[in-house]
Structure 1
Amino acid sequence: MSSSHASPDRAGASEHPANRLAGETSPYLLQHAHNPVEWHPWGHEALELAKAEDRPIFLSIGYSACHWCHVMERESFENPDIARIMNAHFVNIKVDREERPDLDQIYMNAVQAMTGQGGWPMSVFLTPEGEPFFGGTYFPPSDSRGMPGFPRVLLSVHRAWAERRGEIRQSAVEMTSHLRNAADAGRGKGEASPLSTALLDHAAKALIRNFDARHGGFGQAPKFPHPMDLRVLLRQFARTGDAQALHAATFTLGKMARGGIYDHLGGGFARYSTDERWLAPHFEKMLYDNALLASAYVEAFQATGEASFARTARATLGYVLDRMTDPDGPFYSTEDADSEGEEGKYYVWSLGEILEVLGVDLGRNFALTYDVSPAGNWERKNILNLPRPIAESAKDLGRDADELEAELAESRATLLAVRGRRIAPGKDTKVLVAWNGLAIAALAQAGRALAEPRFLETAEKAAAFLLDRLRTSDGRLLHTYKDGIAKLNGYLDDYACLIDGLTRLFEATGGPRWLASAVELADVMVAEFRDAGHGGFYYTGASHETLLTRQKDLFDDATPSGNGMAATALVRLAALTGREDLATIGRQAVEAAAKILEGAPSAGGQTLIALDFLLAPPRELAIVAGSDRREFAAALDAAFARFLPHAVVAPAPAEDREALAKLVPLLEARPAVDDHVTLYDCENFTCRAPVAGTSGVLAALAGAGRG
């Protein structure tokens, strides 16, 4: 089933004694800690028990914000009769896919191979050795809608295990072989074409062909934001001046920001839209979506100067700061769709509520603008959205557009305060390194491009927390943190996203710690994850537990592929540090995914971003501070005011100039001329004459162009 969100704060909701999940920190696992099912977390104890008792494993994978996971729990896992069947015949293991994406990847591939589709909750039956032989997603508690009831499935699998053990084991062996062969197929470079701008042009054309010219986005309902693809199109415009690419990206971003997928009161985007016009979302909010979309809106603002993109980026990151930030610095994972057992209840309004809160005059103006009607636009309620720009509503109302916007801003604040008194959706407060890395990158970009110092301060606090609290004594990353406990080996995307976030944070602030840590983590990532024989990276490290297969993460999903993000992080870091070994490894990671870029470019957006950077003439902007900090800050803001996706920025605060010169060759022997901020603009290994002083630097950067 496709996912929506449900409350994670349900541990102890049942009267059953606690099971083995009660000692876990994952909110998703704690949801199930009082089920009558004898759940085990994934681990040696459960796997050995299955072998010792010769029982198959029932593996259930989901996450705290998954609506249908919650439905199956309520219908089946809290049902004592169903639990008795499960406990009698299976070793039952619960996994949080956000904690264990390695297991989720392997067994999702198996379910998709068996059934032709996948989703969560994922329900997989395994041999005691962990080999999958039957699976699906959501099963109802009894036969309905053409689906077999879960008790029927359980008893059928039990009988097959008892009576046809040989067939099942053979099927499991064949499926495991299939999974391993599929993993091996991703390891060779194959016969892909050499890396060239033709791959970028081909990808842009494919995206534009799939562009929905009426509503924006790609394809039909359900419609996902595809931020990596939008950023690919913005880079195509920057590189070639392709007006179609720019239109597809900016039109989509504009439509999404006016749609119901966007929270017009509190900022931030829901996971995806159930319709083609961005009106009705599944209301869950994910940290990664908001980080990736904020970066896309910042880049659209840089590319066009359109103020609405800046407002959307600012409000989206404001949501992250207000609702998703731990007091110690890092960012939480998700907010649910459901509250009080109803999806979207927290977010929707009736016309009567709007008029009661705002009064008749202000309420009517607001309702006309935000598509609020007596009949409602979704299940007899209203999802706030802007079917047309506010300026058009102002014309209909006979109002000045700026005056109406000011009035609406006050009305939104009033409604937000009232909404804040409702029962809020549940929140998954675990910290995931990869998603935090994406947020740090977005805040770093936006902090400079939008001149928002609080974004930079927040990014630095989060980065310091991750580096201080989620690393082992030998420098390796841990994956997740909750309730004072950091655990689980970091995965490829943890390293790649954090390296990229730290690199961009250095570019925005000049802090030496961020760049030095990015280099340290890059060296660990290469040692732990690199496939030296075929190029690219495995998703799990060499130190990871042995699983059925060791896979490569080559395809973008809701988040960037680990391989594509690793390539992006390495080629950018190499451009700053002069580390040619990192540049070569990054290029090899792109080459490992070249077949995907040719055949399915929409699945390789992050890798295309890396390729776009690789193929451009290297551009370096060194900004060396004098004694005036304000000059330095103004110059950095100016460097981020234009869309320069093929450039790196090397800032050198006065107090850190010597330390940074050891990390960044570009900063060697680069003084601040006459103690004023100085710009060294280098392109294709040639540097222009330095420009000193605020006015000169700002003028030079203003003429830097948007490409």
Structure 2
Amino acid sequence: MLSVVSRLNTRIFLRKIHFYRQHHKIGQKSSQNYCRQNKLSRFLSYTMAQANSNADHKHVNRLIDEKSPYLLQHAHNPVNWYPWGNEAIQLAKKEDKLIFLSIGYSTCHWCHVMEKESFEDEETAKIMNEKFINIKVDREERPEIDKLYMTFILLINGSGGWPLSIFLTPDLSPVTGGTYFPPNDRWGMPGFKTILTKVANKWETSRADLLETGQSVIEAIQKTNSQKKAESDSHDDHHLMSIEDKFYQAINIYKRVYDRELGGTKGSPKFPEVSKLNFLFHAFVQTRDDEVLDIALTTLDKIASGGIHDHVFGGFSRYSVDKKWHVPHFEKMLYDQGQLLQAYSNAYKITRDKKYLEIAHKTFKYLCTDLRHPAGGFYAGEDADSYPTYESKDKIEGAFYAWEYNEIKKLFEENQDKFVKFKEHKPFDIYTYHYDIKKNGNVEPASDPHGHIRGKNILFVKGSINETADKFSTSVNTIEAILNIGNEILNIQRQKRPRPHLDCKIVTAWNGLLLIGLSKIACISDNPLRHEYLNVGKKLIEFVKEYLYDEKKKKLLRVCYAENNESQPTRGAKHIYGFLDDYAFFIKGLIYFYVASLDISYLHFAKELQELQDKYFWDTKNSAYFYSEASQSDVVVRMKEDHDGAEPAGNSVSVQNLTLLSSYFEEQKFKEKAVAICNYYSNVSPMGYALPEMLSSLLLEDIGLHMLVVVGPDNEKTRELIDVASDYYVPGLLCILLLVDRPHEVTRKSVSQFKMVKDLPTAYCCHNKRCTLPITDVKLLHKEFEKYLRITKQSNDVKN
């Protein structure tokens, strides 16, 4: 029998559905259905989650007043959670208790598991509340806290991940910790209750021992972040290597560690690691080594074929749990989508293979449909877990994406009319063959240890579309048409399922990564969606200016929040100001968007933000940028990242930004900082594997930037000339448009010497202060770029 609260929530739930159907007219013409169906699915999932949680609000803690979706997920735990801040820290000092710090994010599967097993458990919560001051942190809001304590865990345990579970002294020094802990002793791991009791007892009985371990590690972290890398290991000869030697060293490492058959690094799990792929593309352009190109393209091909890629509607999951890219952890993060747009854009420019552009377009459609706020910003990501049905009480990882064989068969039978043209081709057989769909499911038990998707299928392309066409003795066009119809049918059905939770935080850094990807594809002259990419990029920048930039304080914000697509974004009562990544990634996005749009205002905004980044983050004593501002006094160490991971390091991206801005504005101060950063990190070994983004930028500085200058009136002929550059992959290319009727708009004053020839739009290709003769013909300019691609380096021999 339903409780009074449950009955009341059920009535409210049904009333909300009725209201939503009335106002959004769900169930009308199919041509209008997808967006509406998607909105309804999100609305029902959100309302159902509210109903499930509101049915029993036995507990409320201080997280209830926060904006972060992750913190709000824990607002009704029996644990007496505090947000990170002075109140909790002072209470720990007053009561002389250790702090238990739990760091995660709202779309994290294992964060949900630990919450359900431990943080919702009354017995566990009692121990936590009696023995500790408990703090929750959203790593996407406060990445500097996460980076510091993750470094600690990596040093003491050798591995990390989320949820991150750390025990701190009242002065915020870490003493011990880990990641996910099971509730009870199992799998050879101590249970969380056991750990809580032991750590609390040790704090009471042998505090000095506990402090000693943590203090030695934190001192090592402080030392590493307060001196130059080249000084920290002065005995190492790595910093004496030339840039060219480091470059070839990196290439040889990639050849050893990459899986030639399946792509990515050997073994599992597998992450896209886009910074490494972009380095490989750069390396190919410099060396013309086909083996290097093959490594990058094989990886992108296998990612696109795998279950990590959502074949039904686009987008990519964060990583694959197996070596074949088949079964992912299903969360979709914005930072992956933006970086993979960059990678597939680079692949298309190098190969001119349309499949890479099509993958990018499908990702773009997913982003604009499922992750975009109407005002123009993009949400942080979607959860891995969702309710299997609207009646379910527990979420399951992958429930939204997995399919039973008979479910697909029934859908094809119910939609036979859509396959009238292809009836003789056996559409169901083609679809199930191509995506490896099996009666008993296609997921291996090792990839699904908890049995969440047992007996189900994750769409996965084992072969190629040509192989499928050969198998069924038909054309590739026919196969493509059948697959597209099948995906549309599955997508319509999928929208009727409860959707995964959407994290409605809008993160500046990740929107910056997306802006880079949008800009790179918008540059491609034969991109049929070019104007759509430009419009979306323009609105994204406008969104950041309005909601993520404090004009009064001249600071970027880290995040803003929107409860849903209908709500106005807000900054929250406690503004969280930007970190190094927020500046660096967005600045790079602005620079590339200038190249795509040729609107000089974006370049000026990039320069303005770069000067602010220099002001807030530059280490005046040892060079390079700190991750956080000096004003953030609640962090015991100001970190400097020394690796490009799931996201590139802020210093790596800044080297390229500074190099480009130095050339665009002819300002030496930017170049000096770029060189200083490279010197600071010169002893990171091997640089090309740890910091591939930085080595790529360093190489640009070493060989010199290429520059295309086009002089002419603001007309189609002039644009045709400057568009030529967009058809080629030339790392770090400067594109300067000198409009004769608006000469004041140019940032690089020295280009004023370039003139039109015979009153025709005229192009000049320059490198290391040498320029070609004037070029007025588009075909000749294409030949000049092709010549560049041929002469970079002819030999495929790589140094040993």
Structure 1 partner of 2:763: 679
Q: Is the Cα contact below 8 Å between 2:261 and 2:298 reproduced in 1?
A: no
Q: Is the Cα contact below 8 Å between 2:660 and 2:732 reproduced in 1?
A: no
Given candidates 472, 475, 478, the residue that maps to 1:400 is 475
Structure 2 partner of 1:33: 75
Structure 2 partner of 1:558: 646
1:145 and 2:187 aligned: yes
Q: 1:658-707 deviations in whole A, cap 9, x for unaligned?
A: 3422x233543555666654323222212223333666656655665476
Q: 1:310-368 deviations in whole A, cap 9, x for unaligned?
A: 21122222222221111111111111111111111111222222222223731111111
Q: Is the Cα contact below 8 Å between 2:523 and 2:595 reproduced in 1?
A: no
Further displaced range: 643-652 or 277-286: 643-652
Tell me, in whole angstroms, the C-alpha distance in 1 between the residues paired with 2:644 and 2:674.
Answer: 17
Total equivalences in the alignment: 697
Q: 1:423 to 1:53 in 2, by over 3 A?
A: same
Tell me, in whole angstroms, the C-alpha distance in 1 between the residues paired with 2:635 and 2:349.
Answer: 44
Given candidates 440, 461, 470, the residue that maps to 1:375 is 440
Q: 1:389-417 deviations in whole A, cap 9, x for unaligned?
A: 11111111010122222232222222222
Tell me, in whole angstroms, the C-alpha distance in 2 between the residues paired with 1:659 and 1:267.
Answer: 43
If the length of structure 1 is used for normalisation, what is the TM-score?
0.94
Structure 2 partner of 1:417: 492
Tell me, in whole angstroms, the C-alpha distance in 1 between the residues paired with 2:384 and 2:759.
Answer: 54
Q: What is the identity, as a one-letter code, of the residue corresponding to 2:560?
A: Y
Q: Secondary structure at the match of 2:523?
A: helix
Given candidates 533, 539, 555, the residue that maps to 1:455 is 533
Structure 1 partner of 2:411: 357
Tell me, in whole angstroms, the C-alpha distance in 1 between the residues paired with 2:208 and 2:288.
Answer: 62
Q: 1:268 to 1:666 in 2, by over 3 A?
A: farther
1:577-616 equivalent positions in 2, closer than 5 A: 577-596=665-684, 598-599=685-686, 601-616=688-703
1:644 and 2:730 aligned: yes
Q: Secondary structure at the match of 1:553?
A: coil
Q: What is the identity, as a one-letter code, of the residue corresponding to 2:276?
A: D
Q: Secondary structure at the match of 2:226?
A: helix
Structure 2 partner of 1:3: none
Q: What is the identity, as a one-letter code, of the residue corresponding to 1:153?
A: I
Percent of aligned positions that are identical: 34
1:240-639 equivalent positions in 2, closer than 5 A: 240-340=287-387, 341-359=395-413, 361-378=426-443, 379-449=454-524, 450-451=527-528, 452-472=530-550, 473-483=552-562, 484-486=569-571, 487-596=575-684, 598-599=685-686, 601-624=688-711, 626-628=713-715, 630-639=716-725
CA apart distance, 1:74? 1.0
Tell me, in whole angstroms, the C-alpha distance in 2 between the residues paired with 1:588 and 1:322.
Answer: 42
Tell me, in whole angstroms, the C-alpha distance in 1 between the residues paired with 2:513 and 2:759.
Answer: 36
Q: Which ranges of structure 1 fall in alignment gaps of 5 or more residues?
A: 1-6
Tell me, in whole angstroms, the C-alpha distance in 2 between the residues paired with 1:173 and 1:617.
Answer: 45
If the length of structure 2 is used for normalisation, what is the TM-score?
0.83
Tell me, in whole angstroms, the C-alpha distance in 1 between the residues paired with 2:784 and 2:70.
Answer: 52
Given candidates 660, 663, 668, the residue that maps to 2:752 is 668
Q: What is the identity, as a one-letter code, of the residue corresponding to 2:553?
A: D
Tell me, in whole angstroms, the C-alpha distance in 2 between the residues paired with 1:200 and 1:315.
Answer: 34
CA apart distance, 1:166? 3.4
Q: 1:47-92 deviations in whole A, cap 9, x for unaligned?
A: 1111112111111111111111111111111112221221112111
Q: Is the Cα contact below 8 Å between 1:622 and 1:666 reproduced in 2?
A: no
Q: Is the Cα contact below 8 Å between 2:326 and 2:458 reproduced in 1?
A: yes
Structure 2 partner of 1:4: none
Q: Is the Cα contact below 8 Å between 2:227 and 2:622 reproduced in 1?
A: no
Tell me, in whole angstroms, the C-alpha distance in 2 between the residues paired with 1:370 and 1:186.
Answer: 51
Tell me, in whole angstroms, the C-alpha distance in 2 between the residues paired with 1:84 and 1:276.
Answer: 41
Given candidates 62, 66, 85, the residue that maps to 2:104 is 62
Q: 1:67 to 1:625 in 2, by over 3 A?
A: farther
Tell me, in whole angstroms, the C-alpha distance in 1 between the residues paired with 2:410 and 2:762.
Answer: 57
CA apart distance, 1:217? 1.2
CA apart distance, 1:566? 1.2
Tell me, in whole angstroms, the C-alpha distance in 1 between the residues paired with 2:241 and 2:677.
Answer: 13
Q: 1:634 to 1:412 in 2, by over 3 A?
A: farther
Q: Secondary structure at the match of 1:346?
A: coil
Q: 1:514-573 deviations in whole A, cap 9, x for unaligned?
A: 101110111111122122333321111233325211111121111001111111221122
Tell me, in whole angstroms, the C-alpha distance in 2 between the residues paired with 1:579 and 1:200.
Answer: 27
Q: Is the Cα contact below 8 Å between 1:27 and 1:64 reproduced in 2?
A: yes
Q: 1:653 to 1:490 in 2, by over 3 A?
A: farther
Further displaced range: 598-607 or 364-373: 598-607
Q: 1:20-69 deviations in whole A, cap 9, x for unaligned?
A: 11111111011001111111111111111111121111111111111111
Q: What is the identity, as a one-letter code, of the residue corresponding to 2:326?
A: L
Structure 1 partner of 2:40: none
Q: Is the Cα contact below 8 Å between 1:509 and 1:651 reproduced in 2?
A: no
Q: Secondary structure at the match of 1:594?
A: coil
Q: Is the Cα contact below 8 Å between 1:187 and 1:552 reproduced in 2?
A: no
Further displaced range: 260-269 or 637-646: 637-646
Q: Secondary structure at the match of 1:33?
A: coil
1:187-226 equivalent positions in 2, closer than 5 A: 187-189=229-231, 191=234, 192-193=239-240, 195-226=242-273
Structure 2 partner of 1:658: 743
Q: Secondary structure at the match of 2:735?
A: strand
Q: Is the Cα contact below 8 Å between 2:229 and 2:682 reproduced in 1?
A: no
Q: Secondary structure at the match of 1:668?
A: helix
Q: Is the Cα contact below 8 Å between 1:187 and 1:535 reproduced in 2?
A: no
**Which has the greater radius of gyration?**
2
Q: Secondary structure at the match of 2:225?
A: helix
Further displaced range: 403-412 or 209-218: 403-412
Q: 1:477-531 deviations in whole A, cap 9, x for unaligned?
A: 1111113333212111111111110000011111122101110111111122122
CA RMSD of aligned residues (A): 2.3
Tell me, in whole angstroms, the C-alpha distance in 1 between the residues paired with 2:155 and 2:405.
Answer: 47
Q: 1:653 to 1:120 in 2, by over 3 A?
A: farther
Q: Is the Cα contact below 8 Å between 1:8 and 1:31 reproduced in 2?
A: no
Q: What is the identity, as a one-letter code, of the residue corresponding to 1:641?
A: D
Q: Secondary structure at the match of 1:130?
A: coil
Q: What is the identity, as a one-letter code, of the residue corresponding to 1:465?
A: F
Tell me, in whole angstroms, the C-alpha distance in 1 between the residues paired with 2:534 and 2:750.
Answer: 24
CA apart distance, 1:181? 2.5
Q: 1:327 to 1:94 in 2, by over 3 A?
A: same
1:222-241 equivalent positions in 2, closer than 5 A: 222-241=269-288
Further displaced range: 239-248 or 582-591: 582-591
Tell me, in whole angstroms, the C-alpha distance in 2 between the residues paired with 1:633 and 1:381.
Answer: 51
Q: 1:356 to 1:215 in 2, by over 3 A?
A: same
Q: Secondary structure at the match of 1:650?
A: strand
Q: 1:636-659 deviations in whole A, cap 9, x for unaligned?
A: 44321111114222235677x334
